Structure 1
Amino acid sequence: MSLAEDPSTTSRITLPKVKLPELLQRRDGSMTRELLLKPGQHGLGMTHDSMVADTTTTATCGYCSTGCGLRLHLRDGEAVGLTPETQYPVNLGMACPKGWEALRVLDSDERATTPLLRDANGKMQPIEWEAAFTTFVDKMRGVQEKHGQDSVAFLSTGQIPSEEMAFLGALARFGMGIRHGDGNTRQCMATAVTAYKESFGFDAPPFTYDDFEQSDCLIFIGANPCIGHPIMWERVLRNPNTPEIIVIDPRRTETAMAATQHLQVKPKHDLAILYAITKLLIDNGYVDRQFVEGHTNGFEELCEHVSQFDVDTVAHAAGVSVGSLEQVAHTIGTRKAVSLWWTMGVNQSYEGTRTAQAMINIALITGNIGRPGTGANSITGQCNAMGSRLWSGTTNLLGHHSFASEQDRQKVADVLGFDSECIPTTSSWRYDRIIEGVRNGEIKALWVIATNPAHSWIDQADVKELFGKLDFLVVQDMYDTTETAEHADLIFPTAGWGEKEGTFINSERRYGLLKKVRRAPGQALSDFQILRGIAHYWGVGEQFAEWTDPEAVFRIMQRASRGQPCDITGIDGYAHIDRCGGIQWPWTEADAAATGSSEPPQQRRLFEDGRFFYDDGKAKLIVDDITPMPEPPTQKYPVTLLTGRGTVSQWHTQTRTKQSPVLGMLYPQEAYVEINPVDADEWEIVHGDTVTIESRRGKIEANACVTATVRRGQAFIPMHYAETNQLTLSHFDPHSGQPSYKDCAVRITPKAPQSK
């Protein structure tokens, strides 16, 4: 019998006093504690022992940051189907194709079902969990002993529950002495985090989804929610105010097609455009002087800076009319509830932080913050990117504290019951620096959890080559067929969404529940149980004795959040979250006492009192110089390549979505490139032709899609295809460290006919 199948196991045991089988979750089909509901309810219904044969339960979707509620239909305790939850305050009965297929992708021949170890002949061989944990510990410690404590690093994710992120960060950094670790949220949300922290004093998205329906003017910059976040777009369509919809984007996206105003700017002119609009707002008296004086710092510096951005000059350079800029400024200045929204088109840019802050500046100087329908609002990417930001313990100390603060280190140590000496005094290297560490021989072993950098990291061929330089690569994933798993020396098979418990935090700061409603295949374990096993074998089990199950860790997280802007001490456990249909942070003990109710209002926004998270309570207006595009078009590479989301049915590197035949029918299986019709005529390319796209880093083939959605001299390839990041340029925002995926120089030519 496999160790992971031992029916005598339990999930509440002090680690050092037990053998490995007792550490692991039950594998006999029973569930330690299910949150099962009677039909139509949100609240905690019944335990496994008393449940009826057919019932339903609501859980948060595990794809994007929207955080929809899915009603899971159970038979004998296991999910057999799902429908959108009609009462959940996020999606109100709607779901995108990915959500509808969330169960289907779990049933795949590509699932990792047993630990795998590469043998002397380079072949992956199945091993038992005991051998897997022993190998992990021996190899990682061996690398540290040979090359130094900091020669081991980890790359984490925005895909696993907050409790697993907290456990991973604490175990790796405080228990194993791994100083360097970052998450793939560096690829999607680092810019928004940095912008909010610098402007507001904390990583604090101020909005709630109700703002989509309350605005009378919505501005989308580098965002295509119609495709990227379709349930959010449904909320826009419910707006009763006949809102102006303004889109600033180089492509004529699906969202732009529905806009009332579309500024189809040239790539990487968005920051200059926003500064010019700010100048127009100031010059035309659209500033809320009372709010600016009472709640912001830096207005005079802002005025001086944007005065340099002559509207005629900026408009000409960006490829738009002066009148279009004036119309946008007039709309912002005269509407009552203006909201500005951005996502990866801004975040994934070499000057993304300052672009995000230019939007924040506009919201602040016009008083469009803290009221219904307002805000400078970052739409998150991954399902739990917010959880990673607050709890992963990578570049921020647990609970979004600072490693550099002695007071913060002592607070976290006291909460965890650890010696403060085990907490590093400096932050980790960022993702790009860890990759450079592999190149330089500083990082010799890498632990990759629930992410696929061999597909997703910028300049893909380079990172694949670097993986070959490692002494030891561990991949912890649901599937053993990912591009990164192909390079692994050791694979840990994991449970996925629906096969474990925990919480996700969505874009509007809402904690939602992930529930175990299926058994993971074979010997696959939740990341939580894998971390318990590592803690035991590393010899730090006693240090993590309190970390018995996800809800126990949630209680630890609550203690760590006390006094922080993200305080969740007023939440009364998982049942409370379940009963309420999710709870937005903050919800403190004081909030609960003041309202006289444990049920928080479902739609809460930040900064209603005009106070921000700096000591003086004021937000900062931040500006900077424009940075030239690092790789502009040239005679040899005359086209600017754009990348982004191409279809509502696809997600990131296709690790999960490609497992669904339904989703596979909803988008082209082969990579395609959008080309302007005039360029296509000039290059003698016909719609449907196979073309070659070449950058300074690589060459790929794709099918030509001749369309006016892109302007002349530009092209677009969806980011989901494995080929795309063979072309992208390795350059980064200097403030956030986020890769700039959205611009590089390429040339496009018809594919040469094959000789017979």
Structure 2
Amino acid sequence: MSDFLKHFQKQQASLSPREIVRQTECPYCSVQCTMNLHEEKSIRVSRYSVTARKEDPVTDGRLCVKGLNAHTHVLDDRRLKQPMVRGRDGKLLNVSWESALEQIRIQVQSLQERYGNDTIGVYGGGSLTNEESYLLGKFARIALQTKYIDYNGRFCMSAAAGASNLTFGIDRGLTNPLSEVPLAKCIILAGTNIAECQPTIMQYFRKARQEGCKIIVIDPRETATCSIADLHLKVKPGYDAALVNGMLKVILEEGYVDESFVRERTNGFDELAEHLKRISLSEVAALTGISPQSIMEAARMYGEAETGMVFTARGVEQHASGVANVRNFLNLVLLTGKIGKPGCGYGAITGQANGQGGREHGQKADQLPGYRLIENPEHRAYIAKVWGVPEDQLPMKGLSAYEMMEAIHRGEIKGLIILGSNPIVSNPNSHLVEKALKKLKFLLVIDLFESETAKLAHMLLPGSAYLEDEGTMTQLEGRVMVRRAVKPLPGKARLDWRILCDIAQVLGKGQYFEYRSAEEIFDELRIASKGGKADYYGMTYERLEQQHGMFWPCPEEAHAGTPRMFEDGFAHADGKAKLAPIEHQNPKEVANRKYPYLLTTGRVLQHYLSGVQTRNTPELNSKYPEPLLEIHPDAAAELGLVHGGHAKVASKRGSIRLKVKVSSKIRLDTVFVAMHWGGDGCINRLTNPSLDPVCRMPEFKVCAVQIAPS
């Protein structure tokens, strides 16, 4: 063989790809599908792709279009790769980490010396790992000693959490594992579009239907989820509690109450029964737009079923009466005794990747790790001991996410640290939010891209993506799973938890943040959660990996976890759940002559939250490149709108211009717009910031608007 041929073959061998496969989890919705990242490496280039992992304990090897493209944004050249500071000319300048940290120290200390510790706020995200969520809460209260911390999960499940805590005494998204869904003989899906928002778990609902289950969908729109519905109740936005009152009345009067369960396992039946006697089905029909016959049909379907489950999501929860709405659905569950048994339970379908875990360990304004309350003296004393600080040094509770924006606008908060969130897009009344953030003397954003919010930042720090990050996630069932890092960080980016530790160090609090790994943080989280409602103490990384995830509460290492809640009792002191009469409340804005249509918002299959990741994924963005105004054909004709044309949509808070999508799948009095875009396509410029009195959830799902051709 000639020297030339030998050289050619050697060169070709060096160029031949070799494949490396690593297990990871999708960063998007709350299902947290496991998947394989494939890397084909050659001497010149690496190519990446994703496939489903058949061993997934929940999805049996399914991925949606977002999951199949979940690696794309991580590899994008537009990723933030080194610290940047905004110069006097408004341009971003690259700086070293040492310089960035020193400037953070100067800014934080000078503001706190002048205005007090609470002048700095912290704003987190529902896609952070449990370790980062825990650490962010500790960072706010120990490193900054500020009371102001909240996160975008406030806009996800806070209403369901508030209702579950009041009713059951504890909040876990699903009371049963998804594997029990096919055991249900009737399922109610209220304000949840699982087919687009969590498509990989639709298999459970399809299987239930194949087994004879009756499925009721409650939604103002005919969504993709309606394809499996036996009955679709196209309720007027904001009138869910009224609809359920009608169903409860039928259940009570036609004998579908589980009397022994109600007597032995609940309190409050007499008050609820007295309330239901005053309900008129004809009045309910007039309020909701649902006929008395359809209300009775739904009640009988659910009441007659031997087993049944109720699932809610943002359509029910994102209201100024969100807690009350969910409590009424829980009345349905309790009155019929359909909980604590196989195929019987309730589930709040979490939206964000770690929306469940994010609120359990200290990101919320009123919470400490383990779902403890920051204003409970015993809870404060326990966490102070774990953290090694005097109890009186822990701040009290601050404000909810949107209320923090109002406090910034008033000048009460002058510095803000944001980790993994884009509040300009995700908050209601986003015009005010943008004005508020522009008033800050110091805005620090830790993220992957220069989001709409990051464009206003005085400093940007390059954080870590899910392929680079390590930690645990708690998916919608309450199953805790370990996600390992499978790629190195790009450029000078750092792990999110390491950035928090580095900032704590320069602020003189480094002794409280001496972690060498995410697992070390988790081990402290386990101790901090011990004895709390969300008890992770019995879990370890080793156990979680061996068992493909475990359900909390898990109080001891010998404990198997708790897949099904409430088998023997509820979490109130007497072991009983609380029934409660729920009076219907009108939305804070109703249609009128000036604003004759109701706007409701939501998600689409191709995008996730504020769109920072999915809008940077060409395959996804090309399929749904801009927000659309979904409107009924008769309403469009009356307004002179045509499919593909443009309309101006205005509320009391502002206006935007949108492309028109004419669809007979929506109510005549209602329009729908997805929420994944910023700038001139940001629908939250219009939404109502009125808050639920219990959980402080804004009323995203209904506001009055006027519409005209544009």
- TM category, shorter: over 0.9
Contact preservation (8 Å) 1:191, 1:352: yes
Among 577, 580, 598, the residue aligned to 2:547:
580
Among 392, 397, 400, the residue aligned to 2:368:
397
Correspondence for 2:12: none
The secondary structure found in structure 1 opposite 2:67 is: helix
User: 1:374-413 counterparts in 2 under 5 A?
Assistant: 374-394=344-364, 395-413=366-384
Correspondence for 2:429: 459
The secondary structure found in structure 2 opposite 1:731 is: strand
Offset of residue 207 of structure 1: 2.0
Correspondence for 2:68: 100
Post-superposition CA distance 1:692-751 (Å, at most 9, x none): 112222221111111111122211111113221121122111111011111111111111
Among 219, 222, 246, the residue aligned to 2:188:
219
Say yes or no: does 1:322 pair with 2:301: no
CA distance in structure 1 between the partners assigned to 2:438 and 2:621 by the alignment: 32
Offset of residue 405 of structure 1: 1.9
Correspondence for 2:466: 497
Task: Pick which of 683-692 and 347-356 moved more.
Answer: 683-692
User: 1:529-608 counterparts in 2 under 5 A?
Assistant: 529-545=498-514, 547-571=515-539, 573-589=540-556, 591-592=558-559, 600=560, 604-608=563-567
Contact preservation (8 Å) 1:175, 1:422: no
Correspondence for 2:622: 665
Contact preservation (8 Å) 1:194, 1:353: yes
Correspondence for 1:109: 77
Contact preservation (8 Å) 1:59, 1:70: yes
CA distance in structure 2 between the partners assigned to 1:504 and 1:249 by the alignment: 29
Contact preservation (8 Å) 2:362, 2:371: no
Q: Which amino acid aligns with 1:473?
A: L
Contact preservation (8 Å) 2:239, 2:586: no
Correspondence for 2:59: 91
Contact preservation (8 Å) 2:641, 2:709: yes
Contact preservation (8 Å) 2:402, 2:427: no
Say yes or no: does 1:305 pair with 2:261: no
CA distance in structure 2 between the partners assigned to 1:258 and 1:673 by the alignment: 25
User: 1:292-441 counterparts in 2 under 5 A?
Assistant: 292-394=262-364, 395-424=366-395, 426-441=396-411
Contact preservation (8 Å) 1:445, 1:472: yes
Offset of residue 345 of structure 1: 0.5
Say yes or no: does 1:638 pair with 2:596: yes
Contact preservation (8 Å) 2:39, 2:47: yes
CA distance in structure 2 between the partners assigned to 1:542 and 1:258 by the alignment: 55
CA distance in structure 1 between the partners assigned to 2:40 and 2:673 by the alignment: 42
Correspondence for 2:197: 228
Correspondence for 1:181: 149
Correspondence for 1:263: 233
CA distance in structure 1 between the partners assigned to 2:574 and 2:409 by the alignment: 44
The secondary structure found in structure 2 opposite 1:219 is: strand
CA distance in structure 1 between the partners assigned to 2:652 and 2:386 by the alignment: 50
Correspondence for 2:487: 518
Correspondence for 2:663: 707
Q: TM-score, normalised by structure 2?
A: 0.93
Q: Which amino acid aligns with 1:538?
A: L
Q: Which amino acid aligns with 1:624?
A: I
Post-superposition CA distance 1:225-257 (Å, at most 9, x none): 011111121221233422111011111111124
Task: Pick which of 409-418 and 517-526 moved more.
Answer: 409-418
Correspondence for 1:675: 631
CA distance in structure 1 between the partners assigned to 2:398 and 2:653 by the alignment: 29
Contact preservation (8 Å) 2:371, 2:533: no
Q: Which amino acid aligns with 1:134?
A: E
CA distance in structure 2 between the partners assigned to 1:237 and 1:666 by the alignment: 26
Correspondence for 1:162: 130
Post-superposition CA distance 1:507-558 (Å, at most 9, x none): 100111222111222111111110111121111111233x332101111111
Contact preservation (8 Å) 1:60, 1:513: no
Contact preservation (8 Å) 1:197, 1:204: no
Correspondence for 2:695: 736
Q: Which amino acid aligns with 1:607?
A: F
Contact preservation (8 Å) 1:112, 1:477: yes
Contact preservation (8 Å) 1:72, 1:79: no
CA distance in structure 2 between the partners assigned to 1:566 and 1:304 by the alignment: 35
Among 104, 110, 113, the residue aligned to 1:145:
113
Among 238, 247, 258, the residue aligned to 2:207:
238
Task: Pick which of 199-208 and 380-389 moved more.
Answer: 199-208
Q: Which amino acid aligns with 1:70?
A: M
CA distance in structure 1 between the partners assigned to 2:382 and 2:291 by the alignment: 54
Correspondence for 1:66: 31
Contact preservation (8 Å) 2:602, 2:674: yes
Offset of residue 690 of structure 1: 1.4
CA distance in structure 1 between the partners assigned to 2:281 and 2:193 by the alignment: 26
CA distance in structure 2 between the partners assigned to 1:469 and 1:306 by the alignment: 50
Say yes or no: does 1:274 pair with 2:274: no
Post-superposition CA distance 1:256-302 (Å, at most 9, x none): 24310011111211111101111111111111111111111111111
Post-superposition CA distance 1:390-434 (Å, at most 9, x none): 11343201211122222212221222333323222x222111221
Correspondence for 1:18: none
Post-superposition CA distance 1:632-673 (Å, at most 9, x none): 11212111111111x211111110011222112322x12211
Q: Which amino acid aligns with 2:512?
A: Q
Post-superposition CA distance 1:298-322 (Å, at most 9, x none): 1111111222221121112211111
Q: Which amino acid aligns with 2:190?
A: I
CA-atom RMSD in angstroms:
1.8
Q: Which amino acid aligns with 2:591?
A: P
Correspondence for 1:19: none
CA distance in structure 2 between the partners assigned to 1:748 and 1:535 by the alignment: 50
CA distance in structure 2 between the partners assigned to 1:268 and 1:251 by the alignment: 13
Say yes or no: does 1:690 pair with 2:646: yes
Offset of residue 619 of structure 1: 0.9
CA distance in structure 1 between the partners assigned to 2:36 and 2:262 by the alignment: 45
The secondary structure found in structure 2 opposite 1:71 is: strand
Contact preservation (8 Å) 2:78, 2:449: yes
Contact preservation (8 Å) 1:686, 1:706: yes
Number of residues paired by the alignment? 684
The secondary structure found in structure 2 opposite 1:635 is: coil
Contact preservation (8 Å) 1:297, 1:620: yes
Contact preservation (8 Å) 2:267, 2:577: yes
Contact preservation (8 Å) 1:354, 1:622: no
Contact preservation (8 Å) 2:187, 2:302: no
Correspondence for 2:13: none
The secondary structure found in structure 2 opposite 1:238 is: helix
Contact preservation (8 Å) 1:495, 1:525: yes
Task: Pick which of 273-282 and 399-408 moved more.
Answer: 399-408
CA distance in structure 2 between the partners assigned to 1:74 and 1:306 by the alignment: 61
The secondary structure found in structure 2 opposite 1:685 is: coil
The secondary structure found in structure 1 opposite 2:187 is: strand
CA distance in structure 2 between the partners assigned to 1:566 and 1:487 by the alignment: 36
Contact preservation (8 Å) 1:162, 1:392: no
CA distance in structure 2 between the partners assigned to 1:409 and 1:218 by the alignment: 40
Correspondence for 2:417: 447
The secondary structure found in structure 2 opposite 1:468 is: helix
Q: TM-score, normalised by structure 1?
A: 0.88
Correspondence for 2:585: 627
Offset of residue 104 of structure 1: 1.3
Post-superposition CA distance 1:128-172 (Å, at most 9, x none): 001111111110111111112211111111111110111111021
